[in-house]
Amino acid sequence: MAAAYDDTNVFAKILRGELPAHKLYEDEQTLAIMDIMPRGDGHCLVIPKEPSRNIMDVEVRDLEAVARTVQKLARAVVKAFDAEGATIQQFNETAGGQVVFHLHFHVIPRFDGVALKPHTGQMEKPEVLAANAAKIRAALG
């Protein structure tokens, strides 16, 4: 049996306004924010507003909305950072690499020959996140 959704996770707190975030895009069903521990410049996250632990329990309509927002953000980060591509990542449960148990997709601009930084848990400087967020918001129009 799958574990229940825990509404004390960091993304649930961001959605309720209990924690700050560098917001990039928001619609009725989704929110896109900067990843505070980025593996590359422009690394952002897309989450559904409705609670879901991961891809295995998300409602199809919410997953469709997230997919639309992921595509929108992928286009924006490539444009904002003049990137050559984008990596989209999504992890499910501890065995699958999931750390925060609210469905989320990583959107990371990529460049030929440049590896992703390791996930060290080190937070990026707020001014760097703010500058990168401004670039992405500008690319979104």
Q: What is the C-alpha separation between 123 and 104, in angstroms, rounded?
A: 18
By annotation, the residues acting in catalysis are 104
Q: Which of 17, 11, 19, 23 is nearest to 49 (CA)?
A: 11
**Three-class secondary structure of residue 13 per DSSP:** helix
Query: What are the φ and ψ backbone dihedral angles of 127, each rounded to 5 degrees?
Result: -70, -30
Q: What count of other Cβ atoms lies within 10 Å of the Cβ of residue 4?
A: 10
